[in-house]
Chain A
Amino acid sequence: MSTGSRVSTTSPRLRRSALPYLLLLPALLLELLIHLLPMVMGILMSFRRLTQFFIRDWSRAPWTGWANYELVLDVDRPVGEALLRSFLTTCLFTLLSVGLCWLLGTAAAVFMQESFRGRGLLRALFLVPYALPVYAAVITWAFMFQRDNGLVNHVLHDQLGLGGPEHTFWLLGDNSFWALLTVSVWKGWPFAFLIVTAALQNIPGELYEAAALDGAGIWQQIRRITLPSVGAVNQVLVLVLFLWTFNDFNTPFVLFGKSAPAAADLISLHIYQSSFVTWNFGAGSAMSVLLLLFLLLVTAGYLLVTSRGRRSRHV
């Protein structure tokens, strides 16, 4: 019985200390299963010559060391050259898309702070692109961008008379970049709007009243109150938008199919296409690992800079 009493005295303490870990365990296991395991498998695949001959059991694929990395990083050969071009295209695209999404979202959120008739309806309309299924929305854009029967050319050329009578190709050649950017911004800015709106609602109204009494104009209020108050939210927002846009696969895939024009060949689609064009899944995995490393580096750098900025402001 004495044993029983000893257990009853130590076990609540033990239980208390073990409980958090026990509660975390399912999440940890799921994380391991969903993220870490495939990641490790992807890294292992990148060191193998994995083709259709070994797709049923990839562990039998011959080990090739760094050969896949040498192949995809050799910019003098077609595979490396195309990867570099796709990477640079994606960087420019991400920069423009995130910038425009943030700008539009913030401007709309500030504008919607003022109370006016129909504000609720307008806010709901703003959020429509965010609520629509991606596939349905992007396929609609694909129809609209069609050269001969699309709405975009109908409005631009036939109704507004811009660019002459000859219809423009939006889904082929260099213009495809702008078509893709349009869809990406259309799809992404409502998220920025939603997040900035939520952040703005946390700013006490008294701050603006006090500023107004002190004679601050609207621009000064935005610069001195609004933007600093939503700074922390903005940092997360920009990071999330960056990661989503850089990795976006659905938009170019639905818009262009499995082979996008060179001008709109975003890196996710490029990796998919490279893997499936050559069925060289080893090289595709190497590209994915490099992409992952790049995103990790950028994210870590960004977090370092922004947290330092926050710390220095607090000091």
Chain B
Amino acid sequence: MRRTRAAAAAVTASLLAAAVTACGGGTADSGAGSNAAPKELTYWASNQGPDLAADQAVLGPELKKFEERTGIKVKLEVVPWSDLLNRILAATASGQGPDVLNIGNTWSSSLQATGALLPWNAENFAAIGGKDRFVESAIGSAGAAGQDPAAVPLYSMAYALYYNKKMFQEAGVAKPPATWDEMVTTGRLLSKDGKWALGAEGGNLSNNIHQVFVLAKQHGADFFDAAGRPTFDSPGAVDAVKQYVDLMAKDEIIAPGNAEYAQNQSLQDFANGKTAMVLWQSAASTFKSHGMKEGDWGVAPVPVPAGGAPGAGRGTNSMVAGINLAVFKNTDNIAGSLKFVQFMTSDEEQRILNKTYGSVPPVKAAQSDAAFATEDLTVLRTTLGTSAAPLPQVPQESQFETAVGTAVKELFADAAAGRPVTTESVKAKLGKAQQQMAS
């Protein structure tokens, strides 16, 4: 009986301890990081390659290199894009996250507002070689203006128009469209015999946002005003969304089936010769993984309005895309985390990783490598440098992606089902999304 009582007491004590720990979870992360576990790090990498295994194959040897140099073991987890934001949010709420993680650069301000990420002040930047090593536009997408960045740029990307050279040749089209009018006329030549001119990911909320953001810029509009208030249903924004959905609804150069695409099926269709063009960021490695050979596709800047040319303002033809590297403030290995960020953003690693992923290094010194002077990357680099704009750096950015991205998804569903997509229906959907944000 004494043994029973002792066991019961032990169970009770351990349960109470667990309860107390669980309750304390919310406050345990309130302090800054420590160096309690200097020999290990957990790293959440975003899915950059064709699949999770490919990312592990790319990052594995590099992390081994880091371990050999510093003695710090890095536990890697590659997180799919669809899960990443929620995983970060859960980690933020529980305080039980990784030490270092990748974030989409468009989420920087939203995640900065949670206060969970280490601010990159002068001291932290000094530990990784200084802020000046990075391209300015990339730093501009790492947090709200006037505050210390919440992350450090890792991979930079921009949108470009990828086109299938053979399909263009067969349709007698000499060059890729440079304006939206040309896109529609060229598109009609290419959309025949079960093949389509342009691919889209109608069910992918982020992709929808990227596309309509650029079109809104071209219409002289934005989705937030200067004070950071949502202006989703402004006339320019409505025109932009309608123009994008009309590529399926009215112009009929996007296949209706694309309305349900959300897992990069449009890239597969492009590689299989079902669609002739896609608007994408750094897609080369994915095309190769689907069996295309270098030279099968061409790269051109994303179209702009008639009479215009890629540039600032109405000439904007891409968002500043990219991945940033952040450190959770409550890490148990702050010194090691800084070392790891320094390693990943070193000139050498920047060349290796960006070359592999087909992205552009946000570190100036690494950009000079000959590997980044290919046709693809020259277009992307020029776009980033001259005609790309960052998505609004406001705390509600990630809500905006979901709310407006869903509205565009629903409009694509209407278009696919043959229901009319009118200025009024677009305005109503965007108005609803705005009210959701304001509530």
A interface residues with partner B (beta carbon < 8 Å): 15, 22, 25-26, 29-30, 32-33, 37, 52-53, 55-59, 71, 77-79, 146-148, 167, 169, 171-173, 257-259, 261-262, 273, 276-280, 283
Is A52 within 8 A of B12, CB to CB? no
Is A257 within 8 A of B82, CB to CB? yes
Say how far B75's CB is from chain A's closest CB, in angstroms.
Answer: 23
Is B16 within 8 A of A29, CB to CB? yes
Say how far B94's CB is from chain A's closest CB, in angstroms.
Answer: 9
Query: Considering the complex, which residues of chain B in the window 265-303 have a beta carbon less than 8 Å from any beta carbon of chain A?
Result: none
| Any A CB within 8 A of the CB of B226 | no
| Any A CB within 8 A of the CB of B127 | no
Complex Cα spacing A278 to B439, Å:
8
Taking CB atoms, residues of chain A closer than 8 Å to B374 are: none
B89's nearest neighbour on chain A, judged by CB, is A55
Is A278 within 8 A of B399, CB to CB? yes
Is A57 within 8 A of B260, CB to CB? no
| Any A CB within 8 A of the CB of B176 | no
Known interface pairs A26-B15, A33-B22, A169-B413; A147-B260 also in contact (CB < 8 Å): yes
| Any A CB within 8 A of the CB of B436 | yes
Is B30 within 8 A of A56, CB to CB? yes
Say how far A155's CB is from chain B's closest CB, in angstroms.
Answer: 17
Query: Considering the complex, which residues of chain B in the window 1-57 have a beta carbon less than 8 Å from any beta carbon of chain A?
Result: 1, 4-5, 8, 11-12, 15-16, 18-19, 22-23, 26-27, 29-30
Contacts beyond the supplied A167-B257, A169-B256, A277-B402: 12 A-B pairs with Cβ under 8 Å: A30-B15, A53-B114, A55-B114, A56-B26, A56-B92, A77-B439, A169-B416, A172-B416, A172-B417, A257-B262, A278-B437, A279-B110
Complex Cα spacing A22 to B10, Å:
12
B263's nearest neighbour on chain A, judged by CB, is A257
Is A279 within 8 A of B399, CB to CB? yes
Taking CB atoms, residues of chain B closer than 8 Å to A33 are: 15, 18-19, 22
Complex Cα spacing A147 to B255, Å:
11
Taking CB atoms, residues of chain A closer than 8 Å to B203 are: 257
Q: List 17 A-B contacts (CB under 8 A).
A: A26-B15, A29-B19, A30-B15, A56-B30, A56-B114, A77-B439, A147-B257, A147-B260, A148-B257, A167-B257, A173-B413, A257-B82, A276-B89, A277-B402, A277-B436, A279-B110, A280-B439
Known interface pairs A257-B262, A259-B409, A261-B413; A56-B436 also in contact (CB < 8 Å): no
Is B399 within 8 A of A79, CB to CB? no
Partner of B402, one of A52, A71, A259: A259
Taking CB atoms, residues of chain A closer than 8 Å to B417 are: 169, 172-173
| Any A CB within 8 A of the CB of B95 | yes
Taking CB atoms, residues of chain A closer than 8 Å to B413 are: 169, 172-173, 261
| Size range of the chain B interface in the assembly | 35 or more
B interface residues with partner A (beta carbon < 8 Å): 1, 4-5, 8, 11-12, 15-16, 18-19, 22-23, 26-27, 29-30, 82, 86, 89, 92-93, 95, 110-111, 113-116, 203, 205, 255-257, 259-260, 262, 395-396, 398-399, 402-403, 406, 409-410, 413-414, 416-417, 432, 435-437, 439
Partner of B398, one of A29, A58, A279: A279
Partner of A29, one of B4, B15, B259, B402: B15
Is B113 within 8 A of A53, CB to CB? yes
Is A259 within 8 A of B26, CB to CB? no
Say how far A57's CB is from chain B's closest CB, in angstroms.
Answer: 5
Closest 7 CB pairs of A and B: A172-B413, A148-B257, A29-B15, A259-B406, A78-B435, A277-B402, A147-B257
Is B439 within 8 A of A25, CB to CB? no
A171's nearest neighbour on chain B, judged by CB, is B260
Is B259 within 8 A of A172, CB to CB? yes
Is B116 within 8 A of A56, CB to CB? yes
Taking CB atoms, residues of chain A closer than 8 Å to B260 are: 146-147, 169, 171-172
Complex Cα spacing A290 to B4, Å:
43
How many A-B contacts if CB must be within 8 Å? 121
Known interface pairs A57-B27, A78-B435, A257-B203; A52-B113 also in contact (CB < 8 Å): yes
Is B15 within 8 A of A56, CB to CB? no
Taking CB atoms, residues of chain A closer than 8 Å to B113 are: 52-53
Tell me which of B22, B114, B395 has the highest count of chain A C-beta atoms within 10 A of its own C-beta.
Answer: B114
Taking CB atoms, residues of chain B closer than 8 Å to A59 are: 26
Taking CB atoms, residues of chain A closer than 8 Å to B114 are: 52-53, 55-56
B403's nearest neighbour on chain A, judged by CB, is A277
Known interface pairs A58-B26, A169-B259; A276-B416 also in contact (CB < 8 Å): no
Complex Cα spacing A13 to B259, Å:
72
Complex Cα spacing A171 to B439, Å:
29
Is A277 within 8 A of B95, CB to CB? no
Say how far A261's CB is from chain B's closest CB, in angstroms.
Answer: 7
Say how far B223's CB is from chain A's closest CB, in angstroms.
Answer: 15
Is A26 within 8 A of B12, CB to CB? yes
Is B116 within 8 A of A276, CB to CB? no
Tell me which of A15, A52, A167 has the highest count of chain B C-beta atoms within 10 A of its own C-beta.
Answer: A52
B431's nearest neighbour on chain A, judged by CB, is A78
Complex Cα spacing A88 to B399, Å:
26
Taking CB atoms, residues of chain B closer than 8 Å to A148 are: 255, 257
Is A56 within 8 A of B93, CB to CB? yes
Taking CB atoms, residues of chain B closer than 8 Å to A56 are: 26, 29-30, 92-93, 95, 114-116
Complex Cα spacing A52 to B23, Å:
19
Known interface pairs A259-B205, A259-B409, A276-B86; A57-B399 also in contact (CB < 8 Å): no
Complex Cα spacing A169 to B203, Å:
13
Say how far B116's CB is from chain A's closest CB, in angstroms.
Answer: 6
Partner of B435, one of A25, A58, A77, A276: A77
Is B15 within 8 A of A278, CB to CB? no
Partner of A25, one of B12, B30, B257, B262: B12
Is A26 within 8 A of B92, CB to CB? no
Taking CB atoms, residues of chain A closer than 8 Å to B27 are: 57
Complex Cα spacing A26 to B23, Å:
18
Is A26 within 8 A of B406, CB to CB? no
Complex Cα spacing A278 to B402, Å:
8
Tell me which of A53, A257, A273 has the highest count of chain B C-beta atoms within 10 A of its own C-beta.
Answer: A257
Complex Cα spacing A179 to B47, Å:
30
Complex Cα spacing A25 to B22, Å:
19
Say how far B266's CB is from chain A's closest CB, in angstroms.
Answer: 12
Is A15 within 8 A of B1, CB to CB? yes
Partner of A37, one of B16, B19, B414, B416: B19
Is A52 within 8 A of B1, CB to CB? no
Say how far B317's CB is from chain A's closest CB, in angstroms.
Answer: 27
Say how far B71's CB is from chain A's closest CB, in angstroms.
Answer: 31
Taking CB atoms, residues of chain B closer than 8 Å to A58 are: 26, 93
Taking CB atoms, residues of chain B closer than 8 Å to A283 are: 439
Complex Cα spacing A279 to B439, Å:
11
Taking CB atoms, residues of chain A closer than 8 Å to B22 are: 33, 37
Say how far A74's CB is from chain B's closest CB, in angstroms.
Answer: 9
Say how far A249's CB is from chain B's closest CB, in angstroms.
Answer: 13
